[in-house]
């Protein structure tokens, strides 16, 4: 018997690290030593923060490179990194550093140009809340998703992927426990890429997937 789905909510708390960068060389050097939660925050934290400009740049590194250094080519390269494709934060860290080093090698001056403002490294701490909502069937979950808070969507679909032991979103993992009839639903949920869309769009996409793929005649 599958346990009820326990709906949680969350918030990402930003914690200063005391580390900052003024140049590309400093950014590269700090990236080698900052904690994994810092990289997580600068890629994913923006989804839970209001955005007022540069929506085309999804991560804080790309935004700073564009705004602070006016290096649009590098900002565009960094903006194309999709963290959902990396199962390990260390792999994501390595990709960032590789892109920076490639850009630094293109000019002797680039590593030392000072930005108009510092990049401050921030690490994240996730605070989780129990909503006390319990859902017994995939059909009930599908009906509830349109009403979920954005924090709940983030926690169950994005944050869940870095939590052991499954390394996948909570929705597809839970739905897969209901047997072969729900395998297609679980697969379609897991195929959603959450990074280049807003949490509102992600919630809408999840709603659509449940509407289309819940088996006919489900309980």
Segment 178-197 mean pLDDT? 95
Q: Is 125 exposed, middle or buried (0-12, 13-18, 19+ CB in 10 A)?
A: exposed
**Domain residue ranges of the chain, discontinuous segments joined by +:** 13-123, 136-213
Phi, psi of 173 (to 5 degrees): -65, -45
Helices (H), 33-192: 36-44, 60-69, 72-79, 89-104, 138-144, 150-153, 170-176, 183-190
- Asked if residues 31 and 122 have their Cβ atoms less than 8 Å apart, the reply is no
Residue-level pLDDT at 145? 97
Residue-level pLDDT at 55? 64
* CB atoms near residue 68 (< 10 Å): 20
Q: What is the pLDDT of residues 103-137, one digit of tens each?
A: 999 988 888 999 999 999 999 999 999 999 999 99
Give the helix/strand (H/E) hosting 21.
strand 5-21
> What is the pTM (predicted TM-score) of this model?
0.90
Whether residue 143 has pLDDT greater than 80:
yes
Give the helix/strand (H/E) hosting 203.
helix 199-213
- Asked if residues 63 and 51 have their Cβ atoms less than 8 Å apart, the reply is no
Segment 148-154 mean pLDDT? 97
């Amino acid at each position: 018997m599958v346990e009820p789905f326990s709906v949680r909510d969350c918030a990402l708390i930003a914690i200063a690290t005391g580390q900052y960068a003024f140049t590309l060389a400093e950014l590269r050097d700090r990236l080698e030593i900052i904690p994994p939660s810092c990289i997580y925050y600068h890629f994913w934290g923006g989804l839970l923060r209001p955005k007022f400009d540069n929506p085309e740049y999804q991560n804080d590194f790309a935004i700073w490179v564009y705004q602070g250094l006016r290096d649009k080519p590098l900002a565009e390269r960094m903006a194309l990194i999709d963290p959902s494709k990396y199962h390990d934060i260390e792999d994501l860290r390595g990709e960032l550093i590789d892109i920076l080093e490639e850009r630094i090698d293109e000019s002797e001056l680039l590593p030392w140009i000072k930005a108009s403002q510092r990049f401050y490294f921030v690490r994240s701490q996730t605070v989780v809340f129990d909503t006390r909502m319990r859902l017994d069937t995939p059909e009930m979950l599908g009906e509830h998703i349109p009403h979920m808070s954005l924090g709940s969507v983030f926690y169950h679909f994005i944050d869940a992927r870095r939590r052991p032991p499954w390394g996948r979103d909570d929705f597809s993992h839970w739905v897969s426990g209901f047997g072969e009839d729900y395998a297609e639903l679980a697969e379609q949920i897991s195929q959603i890429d959450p990074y280049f869309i807003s949490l509102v769009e992600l919630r809408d996409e999840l709603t659509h997937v449940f509407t289309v793929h819940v088996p006919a005649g489900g309980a």
